[in-house]
Amino acid sequence: MSTTPATEIPNRFDFETAQPRIWQLWLDSGLFHAEPDPSRKPYTIVIPPPNVTGALHLGHALNNSLQDTLIRFKRMQGYNALYMPGTDHAGIATQAVVERRLKEEEKLTRHDLGREKLVERIWQWKNEYEARILGQLKRLGCSCDWERTRFTLDDICARAVRHTFFDLFRQTKIYRGKRLVNWDTYLQTAVSDDEVSNETVKGHFWHLRYPIINPAAGEPAHVVVATTRPETMLGDTAVAVHPDPAGALDKAEADLNERLAKSVASERGGLAAQIEAIQTRRSEVLPALLQLAAMAKAGRKIRLPLLHREIPLVLNTWAKPELGSGCVKITPAHDPNDYEVAKRCQLPLINILNPDGTLNAEAGPYVGLPLKQARQKIVADLEAQELLERGEKYARALRQGLPRLAWRKTRLACFPPTLVGSPNPRLVPARGHVRRSRGLGHRGPCPDRF
């Protein structure tokens, strides 16, 4: 009597052979594909598109596993479930990675290649790492509708960007104007606030004298302002003084007294010293500030040192009578707080920077100088003309971009009009959408202001 041997059962699960077979069965069966179906309730997850700057990591694995669990659960419940896959071009970060590789491996810069060749290199990087990222997601078993895979810079997304811009423009919800941005002088592009870090560095505080034009008898001959960046004075369009310096000092002292009453023993000495300093300023500084406030109200002018441009003395609460001279220079094209003052006082914006960080024609005799050289020459010239009162060492915050110094400068941007009093109020970005000058990114329209 003959017997047929039973099929041998493996003693372990061989995922290396089983996984590709099961995965292909899922794809061939169209289990992940979804089409609009009015008879079924939809459930959709758009994958947070991974940046094509590199490979996925453990955080991506956790995040996408949780999303896939939800999609599969809803699919089993009978929902018309769509898990939408895609990748993000991450223009500024991807360009930085590609440029770093060019520098390290070929000793080239993007200027050596030119825009078109640089874009080709970036797209080569994108194709390599997008394929790697999508392959990782598939090996995780993510049940995405792979037929709908999108890249944020593909033709469909680019068309959607253009359509959205024009649609918002037609509805008068965006227009073109100037906004202050973080400017990276190395990549020569705008960078967002979350791409800029602040680092405390040792520097100096320079106290500058701005001559008053035609001072009357008893009036000061100059106004003293302080700055950590003397080169920015070339873009000054005003000097501000507080409209009510006496009231501001009263409020500052009241706030300090309130803090003193609630303070612990270790804090009281410092707070008491600050209160005493304010009381001293009432006798030593306040009379001059009251006189300057009256002069500002009368529309008096100041002469900007070195460039000899007439600028107004203005009233604004940004000037703090309890600090420094009580007056502050206003450089609206290179400082966010000064920019807000300029809007309130209707001051012009003078950008003194070229895209590469050198000074432009607005800097007069300092045109073409890098920032460090310009600073040294300006300080020397101010001292020679006896317009530098003093300099002192000071620790200040330096804004660092990707990967070089990020300067504040004005740039055209698209942003919503003011919605105060609108019958349909809605949340809008405070600073607007800033167009970047990068190799990889949407070259979307930004129409002139209507």
Same domain, 171 and 270: no
The pLDDT tens digits along the chain (450 residues) read 555 555 677 788 888 888 889 999 999 999 999 999 999 999 999 999 988 888 899 999 999 999 999 999 999 999 999 999 999 887 777 887 888 888 888 888 888 888 788 888 888 888 888 899 999 999 999 999 999 999 888 889 889 988 988 888 888 887 777 777 777 777 677 777 776 777 777 778 889 999 999 998 889 999 999 998 899 999 999 999 999 999 999 999 999 999 999 899 899 899 999 999 999 999 999 999 999 999 999 999 999 999 999 999 999 999 999 988 899 999 988 888 898 999 899 999 898 988 888 999 999 999 999 988 999 999 999 999 999 988 877 655 555 433 333 344 444 444 444 333 333 333 333 444 444 444 555 555 444 433
Distance (Å, rounded) from C-alpha 204 to C-alpha 393? 4
Contact 34, 78 (CB under 8 A): no
Same domain, 23 and 131: yes
Same domain, 123 and 158: no
Does 223 fall in a domain?
yes
How many domains does the chain fold into? 3
Does 307 fall in a domain?
yes
DSSP output for 245-281: HHHHHHHHHHHHHHHHHH--HHHHHHHHHHHHHHHHH
Same domain, 259 and 312: yes
Distance (Å, rounded) from C-alpha 434 to C-alpha 411? 8
Same domain, 263 and 338: yes
Same domain, 334 and 226: yes
| Helix, strand, or coil (residue 383) | helix
Does 384 fall in a domain?
no
| Helix, strand, or coil (residue 367) | coil
Same domain, 176 and 127: no
Domain span including residue 139: 15-149
Amino acid identity, position 81: A
User: Which residues are CB-neighbours of 446 under 8 A, at least 6 positions away?
Assistant: 165, 176, 412, 413, 414, 435
- Sequence-separated contacts (24+) of 147-151 with Cβ below 8 Å: 147/33, 148/82, 148/84, 148/85, 149/85, 149/86, 150/49, 150/84, 150/85, 150/86, 150/87, 151/86, 151/87, 151/89, 151/126
Same domain, 215 and 342: yes
Same domain, 144 and 158: no
Q: Please tell me the pTM assigned to this model.
A: 0.66
